[in-house]
Amino acid sequence: MPSDNCRLRAGWHGGQPAEWRVSAGLVPYAEAVAFMQARVAAIAAGEAPELVWLLEHPPLYTAGTSARSSDLLEPRFPVVKSGRGGQLTYHGPGQRVIYVMLDLNRRTPDLRAFVCGLEGWIIAALARLGVEARRRKGLIGVWVPRPEKPHGPGGELAHDKIAAIGIRVRHWVSFHGAALNVMPDLSHYSGIVPCGISASHLGITSLRELGVKASMGEVDEALRRTFECIF
């Protein structure tokens, strides 16, 4: 669970609980971004409730505001510039994309606390699925320790990232969010340096690679059951 400084003040937008939406099939990235932008404007205007949107995208690479062209090794899939924070990452089938549109004015208008809260939420959801995950100092995202893999410099324990986080805020309403690897094709990450991290003892993993046979629906249920503990 997150430390105290990661907690966000609880709050419903206009007295309404956050809406949850799960999309079947693969949602085109541009379509998702256009929808989020419109929903964020409506939330900021008090015309719509907050929203947590769970979906999957067709295979693509997205470049955040800190992306470096040198981290694109092989453009195996379309590369789309994204307004979210962060660097290059991959989206594709088998990955649960979690778009979180929350009014931080009614919670805690603190970006660091919000990112920390997203990490804590995913860590708590993974714990329900039997996976020990954690944060890593100086690196955004959610990581799984891999003691069986070669250690890093100075004997540092190997870790694999299982969830990436990249957000944007407009009028203190958040959008974009997180991407949790459930059962994607991990070879698709080979076309980029994911999140700009190239250290040999830091990699990418998924629930499937870890031997966890949770369905996408079971992952969604774990996310729903742990959401209010954080937000």
Q: Are 54 and 22 in contact (CB under 8 A)?
A: yes
Report residue 213: phi and psi, to 5°: -95, 35
At 47-71, the pLDDT tens digits run 999 999 999 999 999 999 999 999 9
Question: Is residue 191 situated within a structural domain?
Answer: yes
Whether pLDDT at 8 is above 90:
no
How much is the pLDDT for 16?
73
How much is the pLDDT for 6?
56
Question: Is residue 102 situated within a structural domain?
Answer: yes
What number is the average pLDDT over the span 130-136? 97
Catalytic residue among 6, 116, 195, 229: 195
CATH code of the domain in which 133 resides: 3.30.930.10
Q: Give yes or no: 6 in active site.
A: no
Question: Is residue 51 situated within a structural domain?
Answer: yes
Boundaries of domain holding 129: 4-226
Quote the CA–CA distance of 151 and 200 in Å, as a whole number. 9
Question: Is residue 28 situated within a structural domain?
Answer: yes
Whether pLDDT at 229 is above 70:
yes
Question: Is residue 231 situated within a structural domain?
Answer: no
Question: Is residue 186 situated within a structural domain?
Answer: yes
* CA max distance for the chain: 54
Quote the CA–CA distance of 183 and 149 in Å, as a whole number. 20
Quote the CA–CA distance of 38 and 24 in Å, as a whole number. 21
Quote the CA–CA distance of 142 and 163 in Å, as a whole number. 5
pTM for the predicted model, two decimal places: 0.93
How much is the pLDDT for 1?
34
Quote the CA–CA distance of 90 and 188 in Å, as a whole number. 7
Report residue 60: phi and psi, to 5°: -165, 165
Question: Is residue 178 situated within a structural domain?
Answer: yes
Question: Is residue 153 situated within a structural domain?
Answer: yes
- Residues in CB range of 172: below 8 A, 6 or more apart: 44, 103, 104, 105, 109
Beta bridge partners of 95: 181
Quote the CA–CA distance of 210 and 148 in Å, as a whole number. 12
Number of domains into which the chain is organized: 1
pLDDT-derived band of residue 115, with 50, 70 and 90 as boundaries?
A: very high
